[in-house]
Protein backbone atom coordinates (compact mmCIF):
# COMPACT_ATOMS: atom_id res chain seq x y z
CA UNK A 1 0.00 0.00 0.00
CA UNK A 2 3.01 2.23 -0.01
CA UNK A 3 2.10 5.29 -2.00
CA UNK A 4 4.39 6.06 -4.85
CA UNK A 5 5.25 9.58 -5.82
CA UNK A 6 5.10 10.60 -9.40
CA UNK A 7 5.99 13.83 -10.98
CA UNK A 8 5.79 15.65 -14.23
CA UNK A 9 7.73 18.80 -14.77
CA UNK A 10 7.50 20.78 -17.91
CA UNK A 11 9.04 24.01 -18.96
CA UNK A 12 6.60 26.86 -19.05
CA UNK A 13 5.69 27.45 -22.62
CA UNK A 14 6.08 30.89 -24.01
CA UNK A 15 3.02 32.95 -23.39
CA UNK A 16 0.78 33.63 -26.28
CA UNK A 17 1.28 37.37 -25.90
CA UNK A 18 -1.23 40.18 -26.00
CA UNK A 19 -4.03 40.08 -23.47
CA UNK A 20 -2.43 40.63 -20.10
CA UNK A 21 0.40 42.89 -21.26
CA UNK A 22 0.39 46.36 -19.74
CA UNK A 23 1.72 49.52 -21.32
CA UNK A 24 5.14 50.40 -19.92
CA UNK A 25 4.16 54.08 -19.69
CA UNK A 26 1.32 53.34 -17.32
CA UNK A 27 3.36 51.24 -14.89
CA UNK A 28 6.39 53.53 -14.59
CA UNK A 29 7.69 53.65 -11.00
CA UNK A 30 5.31 50.87 -10.08
CA UNK A 31 6.19 47.36 -8.96
CA UNK A 32 6.49 44.85 -11.79
CA UNK A 33 6.79 41.09 -11.31
CA UNK A 34 8.71 38.45 -13.26
CA UNK A 35 6.76 37.13 -16.23
CA UNK A 36 4.88 40.34 -16.89
CA UNK A 37 4.85 41.67 -20.41
CA UNK A 38 5.24 45.35 -21.17
CA UNK A 39 4.08 47.28 -24.19
CA UNK A 40 6.09 50.21 -25.41
CA UNK A 41 4.31 53.26 -26.75
CA UNK A 42 4.64 53.28 -30.48
CA UNK A 43 6.75 56.22 -31.42
CA UNK A 44 7.84 58.06 -34.50
CA UNK A 45 4.65 57.05 -36.19
CA UNK A 46 4.34 60.21 -38.24
CA UNK A 47 2.36 58.76 -41.10
CA UNK A 48 -0.47 57.58 -38.84
CA UNK A 49 -1.81 60.74 -37.21
CA UNK A 50 -4.53 58.96 -35.28
CA UNK A 51 -2.23 56.19 -34.08
CA UNK A 52 -2.59 56.94 -30.40
CA UNK A 53 -3.27 53.35 -29.50
CA UNK A 54 -0.45 51.22 -28.23
CA UNK A 55 0.89 48.29 -30.12
CA UNK A 56 3.76 45.95 -29.54
CA UNK A 57 7.03 47.51 -30.49
CA UNK A 58 8.11 46.19 -33.84
CA UNK A 59 11.85 46.01 -33.59
CA UNK A 60 12.25 44.83 -37.14
CA UNK A 61 9.66 47.03 -38.75
CA UNK A 62 10.57 49.57 -41.41
CA UNK A 63 13.53 51.82 -40.73
CA UNK A 64 11.31 54.87 -40.27
CA UNK A 65 9.46 53.46 -37.29
CA UNK A 66 12.59 52.03 -35.71
CA UNK A 67 13.02 53.18 -32.14
CA UNK A 68 16.07 52.49 -30.05
CA UNK A 69 14.93 51.06 -26.76
CA UNK A 70 17.47 49.75 -24.30
CA UNK A 71 16.45 46.89 -22.01
CA UNK A 72 18.23 47.46 -18.73
CA UNK A 73 18.58 45.09 -15.80
CA UNK A 74 15.50 43.04 -15.02
CA UNK A 75 14.08 43.17 -18.54
CA UNK A 76 14.58 40.93 -21.51
CA UNK A 77 13.53 40.98 -25.11
CA UNK A 78 11.83 37.99 -26.57
CA UNK A 79 11.12 38.52 -30.25
CA UNK A 80 9.30 41.85 -30.29
CA UNK A 81 8.04 41.52 -26.73
CA UNK A 82 9.48 43.07 -23.58
CA UNK A 83 9.40 40.73 -20.59
CA UNK A 84 10.14 41.39 -16.93
CA UNK A 85 12.53 38.98 -15.19
CA UNK A 86 13.01 40.63 -11.80
CA UNK A 87 10.75 42.14 -9.20
CA UNK A 88 11.11 45.85 -8.56
CA UNK A 89 10.05 49.27 -9.69
CA UNK A 90 10.05 49.97 -13.41
CA UNK A 91 12.22 52.97 -14.27
CA UNK A 92 12.61 54.90 -17.48
CA UNK A 93 15.21 57.35 -18.68
CA UNK A 94 14.70 59.62 -21.62
CA UNK A 95 17.32 59.24 -24.31
CA UNK A 96 20.03 61.91 -24.22
CA UNK A 97 19.69 62.80 -27.86
CA UNK A 98 17.42 61.94 -30.74
CA UNK A 99 13.79 61.11 -30.41
CA UNK A 100 11.94 58.08 -29.17
CA UNK A 101 13.20 55.10 -27.28
CA UNK A 102 15.12 55.50 -24.08
CA UNK A 103 16.18 53.13 -21.36
CA UNK A 104 13.84 50.96 -19.33
CA UNK A 105 15.04 49.00 -16.32
CA UNK A 106 13.82 47.44 -13.09
CA UNK A 107 15.10 48.88 -9.83
CA UNK A 108 15.29 45.88 -7.52
CA UNK A 109 16.52 45.51 -3.96
CA UNK A 110 19.10 42.84 -4.49
CA UNK A 111 22.00 41.90 -2.26
CA UNK A 112 24.09 39.78 -4.60
CA UNK A 113 26.33 41.66 -6.99
CA UNK A 114 26.77 40.67 -10.62
CA UNK A 115 29.81 42.36 -12.25
CA UNK A 116 29.07 44.97 -14.89
CA UNK A 117 31.70 46.51 -17.15
CA UNK A 118 32.67 49.99 -16.04
CA UNK A 119 31.36 49.65 -12.47
CA UNK A 120 33.51 50.95 -9.65
CA UNK A 121 33.71 48.41 -6.82
CA UNK A 122 35.50 47.76 -3.56
CA UNK A 123 37.31 44.42 -3.56
CA UNK A 124 39.36 42.49 -1.04
CA UNK A 125 42.65 40.95 -2.15
CA UNK A 126 42.42 37.23 -1.46
CA UNK A 127 45.51 35.89 -3.22
CA UNK A 128 48.68 36.95 -5.02
CA UNK A 129 49.66 34.60 -7.79
CA UNK A 130 52.46 35.55 -10.17
CA UNK A 131 51.57 38.79 -11.87
CA UNK A 132 47.88 38.97 -10.93
CA UNK A 133 45.94 39.50 -7.75
CA UNK A 134 42.68 37.68 -7.00
CA UNK A 135 40.06 40.09 -5.72
CA UNK A 136 36.87 39.12 -3.92
CA UNK A 137 34.15 41.43 -5.17
CA UNK A 138 31.14 39.62 -3.76
CA UNK A 139 30.12 38.14 -7.09
CA UNK A 140 30.07 34.54 -8.20
CA UNK A 141 33.81 34.35 -8.84
CA UNK A 142 36.85 36.41 -7.86
CA UNK A 143 38.04 39.11 -10.21
CA UNK A 144 41.61 39.31 -11.47
CA UNK A 145 43.74 42.43 -11.20
CA UNK A 146 47.09 42.75 -12.94
CA UNK A 147 49.89 44.30 -10.89
CA UNK A 148 50.57 46.54 -13.89
CA UNK A 149 47.09 48.05 -13.69
CA UNK A 150 48.12 50.59 -11.05
CA UNK A 151 49.28 54.14 -11.57
CA UNK A 152 53.01 54.27 -12.12
CA UNK A 153 53.47 50.51 -11.92
CA UNK A 154 56.13 48.92 -14.09
CA UNK A 155 57.68 45.46 -14.26
CA UNK A 156 60.42 46.70 -11.93
CA UNK A 157 58.26 48.92 -9.74
CA UNK A 158 55.53 46.69 -8.27
CA UNK A 159 52.65 48.22 -6.31
CA UNK A 160 52.61 47.49 -2.60
CA UNK A 161 49.52 45.30 -2.32
CA UNK A 162 49.11 42.71 0.42
CA UNK A 163 46.54 39.96 0.86
CA UNK A 164 43.62 41.42 2.82
CA UNK A 165 44.00 44.95 1.42
CA UNK A 166 40.96 46.79 0.11
CA UNK A 167 41.07 47.82 -3.53
CA UNK A 168 38.90 50.41 -5.22
CA UNK A 169 38.86 49.67 -8.91
CA UNK A 170 36.88 49.48 -12.08
CA UNK A 171 35.85 46.54 -14.28
CA UNK A 172 37.29 46.41 -17.78
CA UNK A 173 36.07 42.88 -18.49
CA UNK A 174 32.79 41.74 -17.02
CA UNK A 175 30.47 39.36 -18.80
CA UNK A 176 28.70 36.21 -17.82
CA UNK A 177 31.09 33.88 -19.64
CA UNK A 178 34.44 35.28 -18.54
CA UNK A 179 36.33 35.92 -15.37
CA UNK A 180 35.88 39.59 -14.45
CA UNK A 181 38.98 41.77 -14.70
CA UNK A 182 39.63 44.91 -12.73
CA UNK A 183 42.01 47.82 -13.14
CA UNK A 184 43.00 50.67 -10.86
CA UNK A 185 43.79 53.17 -13.61
CA UNK A 186 41.62 55.02 -16.08
CA UNK A 187 42.16 55.09 -19.83
CA UNK A 188 44.81 57.83 -19.42
CA UNK A 189 46.83 55.73 -16.98
CA UNK A 190 45.88 57.88 -13.97
CA UNK A 191 44.73 56.46 -10.64
CA UNK A 192 41.83 58.91 -10.51
CA UNK A 193 41.00 57.93 -6.93
CA UNK A 194 41.38 54.22 -7.51
CA UNK A 195 43.93 51.91 -5.94
CA UNK A 196 44.58 50.50 -2.49
CA UNK A 197 42.33 51.99 0.18
CA UNK A 198 44.39 53.22 3.13
CA UNK A 199 44.60 51.88 6.65
CA UNK A 200 41.85 52.11 9.27
CA UNK A 201 38.31 52.98 8.33
CA UNK A 202 35.34 50.65 8.33
CA UNK A 203 33.98 48.46 5.55
CA UNK A 204 30.35 47.39 5.66
CA UNK A 205 27.80 45.95 3.29
CA UNK A 206 24.46 47.36 2.23
CA UNK A 207 21.98 46.42 -0.48
CA UNK A 208 22.77 47.31 -4.08
CA UNK A 209 19.68 49.50 -4.22
CA UNK A 210 20.96 51.72 -1.42
CA UNK A 211 24.30 52.19 -3.17
CA UNK A 212 22.54 53.29 -6.34
CA UNK A 213 20.40 55.65 -4.30
CA UNK A 214 23.43 57.16 -2.56
CA UNK A 215 25.37 57.56 -5.79
CA UNK A 216 22.51 59.28 -7.59
CA UNK A 217 23.65 62.77 -8.69
CA UNK A 218 21.12 64.63 -6.54
CA UNK A 219 21.37 62.51 -3.41
CA UNK A 220 20.68 64.61 -0.33
CA UNK A 221 21.81 61.91 2.12
CA UNK A 222 25.45 62.33 1.12
CA UNK A 223 25.27 66.11 1.36
CA UNK A 224 23.77 65.89 4.83
CA UNK A 225 26.25 63.25 5.98
CA UNK A 226 29.06 65.47 4.75
CA UNK A 227 27.82 68.31 6.96
CA UNK A 228 27.95 66.12 10.10
CA UNK A 229 31.64 65.27 10.33
CA UNK A 230 34.63 65.54 8.07
CA UNK A 231 34.90 62.13 6.47
CA UNK A 232 36.42 59.99 3.78
CA UNK A 233 34.00 57.67 2.09
CA UNK A 234 34.15 55.15 -0.78
CA UNK A 235 31.11 53.55 -2.40
CA UNK A 236 31.46 50.32 -4.33
CA UNK A 237 28.67 49.37 -6.71
CA UNK A 238 28.96 45.86 -5.25
CA UNK A 239 27.22 47.02 -2.09
CA UNK A 240 30.32 47.81 -0.04
CA UNK A 241 30.91 51.13 1.68
CA UNK A 242 34.19 52.12 3.30
CA UNK A 243 34.05 55.07 5.63
CA UNK A 244 36.59 56.80 7.82
CA UNK A 245 36.12 59.76 10.11
CA UNK A 246 38.37 61.40 12.72
CA UNK A 247 37.42 59.05 15.55
CA UNK A 248 36.14 55.48 15.67
CA UNK A 249 32.96 56.73 17.32
CA UNK A 250 32.21 59.08 14.45
CA UNK A 251 32.99 56.35 11.93
CA UNK A 252 30.50 54.01 13.60
CA UNK A 253 27.82 56.69 13.74
CA UNK A 254 28.24 57.38 10.03
CA UNK A 255 28.06 53.69 9.19
CA UNK A 256 24.90 53.22 11.23
CA UNK A 257 23.25 56.30 9.73
CA UNK A 258 24.00 55.15 6.19
CA UNK A 259 22.72 51.65 6.89
CA UNK A 260 19.53 52.98 8.43
CA UNK A 261 18.88 55.45 5.60
CA UNK A 262 17.50 52.78 3.30
CA UNK A 263 14.06 52.50 4.84
CA UNK A 264 13.56 56.07 6.01
CA UNK A 265 11.49 58.81 4.51
CA UNK A 266 13.18 62.16 3.90
CA UNK A 267 11.37 63.63 6.94
CA UNK A 268 12.66 60.88 9.22
CA UNK A 269 16.15 61.43 7.82
CA UNK A 270 16.00 65.16 8.53
CA UNK A 271 15.05 64.43 12.14
CA UNK A 272 17.94 62.02 12.59
CA UNK A 273 20.45 64.42 11.06
CA UNK A 274 19.14 67.30 13.14
CA UNK A 275 19.51 65.22 16.31
CA UNK A 276 23.03 64.14 15.37
CA UNK A 277 24.07 67.69 14.56
CA UNK A 278 23.00 68.79 18.06
CA UNK A 279 24.97 66.15 19.94
CA UNK B 1 -4.43 -2.34 -10.66
CA UNK B 2 -4.23 -2.52 -6.88
CA UNK B 3 -4.95 0.30 -4.56
CA UNK B 4 -2.14 2.63 -3.67
CA UNK B 5 -0.86 2.88 -7.20
CA UNK B 6 -1.05 6.38 -8.43
CA UNK B 7 -0.05 8.55 -11.22
CA UNK B 8 0.79 12.08 -12.03
CA UNK B 9 1.92 12.52 -15.58
CA UNK B 10 -0.31 15.17 -16.99
CA UNK B 11 -1.94 15.19 -20.41
CA UNK B 12 -0.55 11.72 -21.07
CA UNK B 13 -3.67 9.55 -21.15
CA UNK B 14 -4.08 9.10 -17.41
CA UNK B 15 -5.49 5.68 -16.64
CA UNK B 16 -8.68 5.60 -14.70
CA UNK B 17 -8.66 3.58 -11.53
CA UNK B 18 -11.65 4.51 -9.53
CA UNK B 19 -15.06 3.11 -8.92
CA UNK B 20 -17.58 5.13 -10.93
CA UNK B 21 -20.16 7.01 -8.97
CA UNK B 22 -17.86 8.36 -6.29
CA UNK B 23 -17.95 11.87 -7.66
CA UNK B 24 -21.05 12.71 -5.73
CA UNK B 25 -21.10 16.41 -5.07
CA UNK B 26 -17.72 17.97 -5.62
CA UNK B 27 -17.31 21.47 -4.37
CA UNK B 28 -16.89 24.06 -7.05
CA UNK B 29 -13.53 25.57 -7.91
CA UNK B 30 -14.36 28.48 -5.65
CA UNK B 31 -13.32 26.66 -2.47
CA UNK B 32 -11.05 28.83 -0.44
CA UNK B 33 -7.46 28.50 0.64
CA UNK B 34 -6.33 28.94 4.18
CA UNK B 35 -5.00 32.30 5.29
CA UNK B 36 -1.77 33.27 3.51
CA UNK B 37 1.04 35.26 5.05
CA UNK B 38 4.49 36.11 3.78
CA UNK B 39 7.48 38.05 4.99
CA UNK B 40 10.46 38.77 2.79
CA UNK B 41 14.05 39.71 3.43
CA UNK B 42 13.92 38.65 7.08
CA UNK B 43 17.32 36.95 7.14
CA UNK B 44 20.51 38.98 6.82
CA UNK B 45 22.97 36.39 5.53
CA UNK B 46 21.25 34.91 2.46
CA UNK B 47 20.85 36.95 -0.73
CA UNK B 48 17.11 36.46 -0.56
CA UNK B 49 14.80 35.04 2.07
CA UNK B 50 11.12 34.60 2.71
CA UNK B 51 8.88 32.94 5.21
CA UNK B 52 5.59 31.69 3.87
CA UNK B 53 2.59 30.64 5.92
CA UNK B 54 -0.56 28.85 4.78
CA UNK B 55 -2.75 28.50 7.80
CA UNK B 56 -0.53 26.82 10.39
CA UNK B 57 1.94 25.47 7.85
CA UNK B 58 5.05 27.58 7.80
CA UNK B 59 8.24 27.33 5.76
CA UNK B 60 11.33 29.54 5.88
CA UNK B 61 13.35 29.84 2.69
CA UNK B 62 16.76 31.30 1.95
CA UNK B 63 18.34 31.76 -1.47
CA UNK B 64 22.04 32.12 -2.17
CA UNK B 65 23.04 33.08 -5.65
CA UNK B 66 24.31 33.55 -8.24
CA UNK B 67 27.24 32.38 -6.13
CA UNK B 68 30.45 30.47 -6.55
CA UNK B 69 30.01 26.86 -7.62
CA UNK B 70 32.03 23.74 -6.95
CA UNK B 71 33.94 22.63 -10.04
CA UNK B 72 32.26 19.21 -9.88
CA UNK B 73 28.80 20.78 -10.04
CA UNK B 74 29.64 23.50 -12.55
CA UNK B 75 27.51 23.62 -15.72
CA UNK B 76 29.20 25.57 -18.48
CA UNK B 77 26.11 27.13 -20.02
CA UNK B 78 23.72 27.65 -17.12
CA UNK B 79 23.43 28.04 -13.40
CA UNK B 80 23.44 25.00 -11.13
CA UNK B 81 20.23 24.97 -9.16
CA UNK B 82 20.19 23.25 -5.82
CA UNK B 83 17.33 22.83 -3.38
CA UNK B 84 17.85 21.72 0.21
CA UNK B 85 14.82 20.85 2.30
CA UNK B 86 15.33 20.58 6.03
CA UNK B 87 12.69 18.88 8.15
CA UNK B 88 11.56 20.38 11.43
CA UNK B 89 13.34 17.71 13.44
CA UNK B 90 15.91 15.09 12.54
CA UNK B 91 17.85 14.57 9.38
CA UNK B 92 16.41 14.81 5.87
CA UNK B 93 15.21 11.43 4.62
CA UNK B 94 13.88 9.95 1.41
CA UNK B 95 10.65 11.97 1.51
CA UNK B 96 12.61 15.22 1.78
CA UNK B 97 14.93 14.19 -1.06
CA UNK B 98 11.91 13.45 -3.24
CA UNK B 99 10.35 16.82 -2.45
CA UNK B 100 13.67 18.55 -3.04
CA UNK B 101 13.75 17.13 -6.54
CA UNK B 102 10.17 18.17 -7.26
CA UNK B 103 10.89 21.72 -6.10
CA UNK B 104 14.19 21.82 -7.98
CA UNK B 105 12.54 20.76 -11.24
CA UNK B 106 9.86 23.40 -10.78
CA UNK B 107 12.41 26.13 -10.10
CA UNK B 108 14.52 25.03 -13.03
CA UNK B 109 11.52 25.52 -15.34
CA UNK B 110 11.15 29.20 -14.46
CA UNK B 111 14.63 30.39 -13.42
CA UNK B 112 16.62 31.88 -16.30
CA UNK B 113 19.81 29.99 -15.48
CA UNK B 114 21.41 30.82 -18.83
CA UNK B 115 21.96 34.40 -17.67
CA UNK B 116 24.38 33.23 -14.98
CA UNK B 117 26.43 30.34 -16.32
CA UNK B 118 28.96 28.62 -14.06
CA UNK B 119 27.30 29.83 -10.90
CA UNK B 120 25.15 28.16 -8.30
CA UNK B 121 21.72 29.13 -7.06
CA UNK B 122 20.93 27.41 -3.78
CA UNK B 123 17.49 27.37 -2.21
CA UNK B 124 17.39 26.25 1.41
CA UNK B 125 13.95 25.46 2.82
CA UNK B 126 13.39 24.96 6.53
CA UNK B 127 10.09 23.48 7.62
CA UNK B 128 8.94 25.49 10.62
CA UNK B 129 5.63 23.74 11.13
CA UNK B 130 3.73 21.22 9.04
CA UNK B 131 -0.03 21.51 9.22
CA UNK B 132 -0.82 20.09 5.78
CA UNK B 133 -0.06 21.11 2.17
CA UNK B 134 3.62 21.23 3.00
CA UNK B 135 4.89 20.81 -0.56
CA UNK B 136 2.70 23.66 -1.81
CA UNK B 137 3.94 25.89 1.00
CA UNK B 138 7.56 24.96 0.20
CA UNK B 139 7.00 25.92 -3.45
CA UNK B 140 5.48 29.24 -2.49
CA UNK B 141 8.27 30.03 -0.03
CA UNK B 142 10.90 29.09 -2.63
CA UNK B 143 9.29 31.37 -5.21
CA UNK B 144 9.12 34.35 -2.88
CA UNK B 145 12.72 33.86 -1.76
CA UNK B 146 13.91 33.61 -5.38
CA UNK B 147 12.07 36.84 -6.19
CA UNK B 148 13.60 38.48 -3.13
CA UNK B 149 17.09 37.42 -4.18
CA UNK B 150 16.57 38.99 -7.61
CA UNK B 151 17.20 35.76 -9.49
CA UNK B 152 15.99 36.30 -13.06
CA UNK B 153 12.85 34.28 -13.77
CA UNK B 154 10.56 33.97 -16.77
CA UNK B 155 7.49 33.67 -14.55
CA UNK B 156 6.45 33.25 -10.96
CA UNK B 157 5.14 29.94 -9.74
CA UNK B 158 2.91 28.76 -6.94
CA UNK B 159 1.96 25.46 -5.38
CA UNK B 160 -1.61 24.39 -4.70
CA UNK B 161 -2.63 21.18 -2.95
CA UNK B 162 -6.02 19.51 -3.45
CA UNK B 163 -7.40 16.62 -1.44
CA UNK B 164 -10.18 14.30 -2.61
CA UNK B 165 -12.42 12.78 0.04
CA UNK B 166 -13.79 9.27 -0.09
CA UNK B 167 -17.04 10.75 -1.38
CA UNK B 168 -15.22 12.76 -4.02
CA UNK B 169 -15.38 16.13 -2.30
CA UNK B 170 -12.57 18.43 -3.29
CA UNK B 171 -10.74 20.28 -0.53
CA UNK B 172 -8.20 22.92 -1.46
CA UNK B 173 -5.18 23.51 0.76
CA UNK B 174 -5.99 20.63 3.14
CA UNK B 175 -4.86 20.39 6.73
CA UNK B 176 -2.99 17.33 8.05
CA UNK B 177 -6.26 15.81 9.23
CA UNK B 178 -7.91 16.35 5.87
CA UNK B 179 -4.87 14.93 4.10
CA UNK B 180 -4.98 11.80 6.25
CA UNK B 181 -8.66 11.22 5.63
CA UNK B 182 -8.38 11.93 1.93
CA UNK B 183 -8.53 9.28 -0.76
CA UNK B 184 -6.09 11.24 -2.90
CA UNK B 185 -3.84 14.26 -2.38
CA UNK B 186 -2.65 16.16 -5.45
CA UNK B 187 -0.15 18.99 -5.48
CA UNK B 188 0.33 21.16 -8.56
CA UNK B 189 2.85 23.85 -9.37
CA UNK B 190 1.53 26.47 -11.79
CA UNK B 191 3.23 29.37 -13.51
CA UNK B 192 1.93 32.92 -13.40
CA UNK B 193 1.98 33.68 -17.12
CA UNK B 194 -0.24 30.97 -18.61
CA UNK B 195 -1.30 29.18 -15.40
CA UNK B 196 0.25 26.14 -16.98
CA UNK B 197 1.31 23.09 -15.05
CA UNK B 198 4.98 22.99 -14.07
CA UNK B 199 4.93 20.01 -11.72
CA UNK B 200 2.44 17.63 -10.25
CA UNK B 201 2.84 15.24 -7.37
CA UNK B 202 -0.04 12.96 -6.49
CA UNK B 203 -0.79 10.29 -3.96
CA UNK B 204 -3.82 8.02 -3.84
CA UNK B 205 -6.61 7.00 -6.17
CA UNK B 206 -8.48 9.31 -8.50
CA UNK B 207 -10.08 9.30 -11.90
CA UNK B 208 -9.12 11.21 -14.98
CA UNK B 209 -12.13 13.50 -14.55
CA UNK B 210 -11.21 14.14 -10.92
CA UNK B 211 -7.66 14.99 -11.92
CA UNK B 212 -8.90 17.56 -14.41
CA UNK B 213 -11.32 18.89 -11.82
CA UNK B 214 -8.51 19.27 -9.25
CA UNK B 215 -6.31 20.97 -11.82
CA UNK B 216 -9.08 23.42 -12.67
CA UNK B 217 -9.60 24.15 -8.99
CA UNK B 218 -5.87 24.64 -8.48
CA UNK B 219 -5.71 26.99 -11.44
CA UNK B 220 -8.56 29.02 -10.03
CA UNK B 221 -6.86 29.10 -6.62
CA UNK B 222 -3.54 30.11 -8.20
CA UNK B 223 -5.08 33.48 -9.15
CA UNK B 224 -5.62 34.09 -5.48
CA UNK B 225 -2.03 33.12 -4.61
CA UNK B 226 -0.55 35.27 -7.38
CA UNK B 227 -2.67 38.21 -6.27
CA UNK B 228 -1.32 37.65 -2.78
CA UNK B 229 2.26 37.59 -4.19
CA UNK B 230 1.67 40.91 -5.89
CA UNK B 231 0.24 42.53 -2.78
CA UNK B 232 3.04 41.29 -0.59
CA UNK B 233 5.74 42.42 -3.05
CA UNK B 234 4.11 45.80 -3.44
CA UNK B 235 4.18 46.15 0.33
CA UNK B 236 7.87 45.30 0.35
CA UNK B 237 8.68 47.89 -2.29
CA UNK B 238 6.39 50.57 -0.88
CA UNK B 239 9.09 51.56 1.60
CA UNK B 240 11.62 52.61 -1.01
CB count, 10 Å around CB of A98? 10
**Spatial distance between the Cα atoms of A67 and A60, rounded to a whole number of angstroms:** 10
Three-state secondary structure readout of chain B: CCCCCCCCCCCCCCCCCCCCCCCCCCCCCCCCCCCEEEEECCCCCCCEEEEEEECCEEEEEEEEEEECCCHHHCCCCCCEEEEEEECCCCCCCHHHHHHHHHHHHHHHHHECHHHCCCCEEEEEEEEEECCCCHHHHHHHHHHHHHHHHCCCECCCEEEEEEEECCCCCEEECCCHHHHHHCCEEEEEEEECCCCCEEEEEEEECCCHHHHHHHHHHHHHHHHHHHHHHHHHHHHHHCCC
Which pLDDT belongs to residue A53? 45
CB contact under 8 Å between B47 and A112, yes or no, is yes
What residues contact A254, with CB distance under 8 A and at least 6 apart?
Answer: A225, A228, A229, A231, A233, A243, A245
Superfamily of domain A119-196: Nucleic acid-binding proteins (2.40.50.140)
Q: Phi first, then psi: what are they for A198, rounded to 5°?
A: -60, 180
CB contact under 8 Å between B66 and A4, yes or no, is no
Name the more confident of B5 and A274: A274
Count the alpha carbons within 13 Å of B155 in the hemisphere toward its beta carbon: 22
Which pLDDT belongs to residue B10? 36
- The mean pLDDT value for A187-194 works out to 92
Q: Does the CB of B229 have a partner CB in chain A at under 8 Å?
A: yes
Which pLDDT belongs to residue A100? 66
Return the H-helix or E-strand segment holding A240.
strand A240-245
Residue A14 predicted with pLDDT over 90? no
Residues in chain A: 279
Q: Does the CB of A52 have a partner CB in chain B at under 8 Å?
A: no
Chain segment A239-249, per-residue pLDDT in tens: 999 999 999 99
**Spatial distance between the Cα atoms of B29 and B27, rounded to a whole number of angstroms:** 7
CB contact under 8 Å between A10 and B112, yes or no, is no
Would you identify the CATH topology of the domain B36-238? Ribosomal Protein S5; domain 2 (3.30.230)
Residue A8 predicted with pLDDT over 70? no
Query: What band does A278 get if pLDDT is binned at 50, 70 and 90?
Result: confident
Which pLDDT belongs to residue B240? 61
Query: What band does A51 get if pLDDT is binned at 50, 70 and 90?
Result: very low
Q: Across chain A, what does the average pLDDT equal? A: 83
Tell me which DSSP letter residue A253 carries. H
Instruction: Tell me where in chain A the CATH 2.40.50.100 domain(s) lie.
Output: 20-42+67-108
Would you identify the CATH topology of the domain A202-278? Ribosomal Protein S8; Chain: A, domain 1 (3.30.1370)
Mutate to test the interface with A, among B82, B83, B150, B183 (most CBs of A within 10 A): B150
pTM passes above 0.90: no
Residue A55 predicted with pLDDT over 70? no
Q: Percentage of chain A surpassing pLDDT 90?
A: 56
Chain segment A93-149, per-residue pLDDT in tens: 888 766 667 889 999 889 999 999 999 999 999 999 988 999 999 999 999 999 999
Which pLDDT belongs to residue A159? 92
CB contact under 8 Å between A15 and B105, yes or no, is no
- ipTM given for this complex: 0.82
A20-42+67-108: in CATH 2.70.50.60 = no
Residues 73 through 102 of chain B touching chain A, CB cutoff 8 Å = 98, 101-102
CB contact under 8 Å between A12 and B196, yes or no, is yes
Name the more confident of B20 and A32: A32
CB contact under 8 Å between A5 and B240, yes or no, is no
What residues contact A120, with CB distance under 8 A and at least 6 apart?
Answer: A168, A169, A170, A194, A235, A236, A237
Query: What band does A59 get if pLDDT is binned at 50, 70 and 90?
Result: low
CB count, 10 Å around CB of A204? 14
* Total beta-carbon pairs less than 8 A apart between chain A and chain B: 158
* Contacts A110 to B, Cβ<8 Å: 47-48, 149-150
Query: What band does A220 get if pLDDT is binned at 50, 70 and 90?
Result: confident
Alpha helices in A116-239 (DSSP H): 208-215, 220-228
> To the nearest whole angstrom, how far is the Cα of A114 from the nearest Cα of chain B?
8
Averaged in consecutive runs of 10 residues, what is the pLDDT profile of chain B (240 residues)? Answer: 38 34 36 88 95 96 94 95 96 96 96 96 97 96 96 96 93 94 96 94 94 94 94 87
**Spatial distance between the Cα atoms of B102 and B108, rounded to a whole number of angstroms:** 10
Which pLDDT belongs to residue B65? 86
Mutate to test the interface with B, among A1, A6, A87 (most CBs of B within 10 A): A87
Instruction: Tell me where in chain A the CATH 3.30.1370.10 domain(s) lie.
Output: 202-278
Mutate to test the interface with A, among B48, B154, B183, B194 (most CBs of A within 10 A): B154
CB contact under 8 Å between A34 and B155, yes or no, is yes
Amino acid sequence: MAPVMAEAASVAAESLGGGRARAARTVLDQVVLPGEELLLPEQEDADVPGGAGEKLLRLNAGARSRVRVVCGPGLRRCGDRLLVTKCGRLRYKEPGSGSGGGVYWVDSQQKRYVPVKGDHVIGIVTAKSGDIFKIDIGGSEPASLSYLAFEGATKRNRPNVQVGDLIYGQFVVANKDMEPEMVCIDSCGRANGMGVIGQDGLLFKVTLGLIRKLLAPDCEIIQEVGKLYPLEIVFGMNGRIWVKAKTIQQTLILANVLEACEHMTSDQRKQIFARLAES
Amino acid sequence: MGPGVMEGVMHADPKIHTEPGTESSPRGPGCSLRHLACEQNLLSRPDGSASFMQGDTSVLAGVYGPAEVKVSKEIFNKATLEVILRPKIGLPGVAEKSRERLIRNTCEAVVLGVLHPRTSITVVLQVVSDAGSLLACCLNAACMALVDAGVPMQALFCGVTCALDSDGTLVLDPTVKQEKEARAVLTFALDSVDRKLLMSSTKGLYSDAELQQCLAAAQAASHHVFRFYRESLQRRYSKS
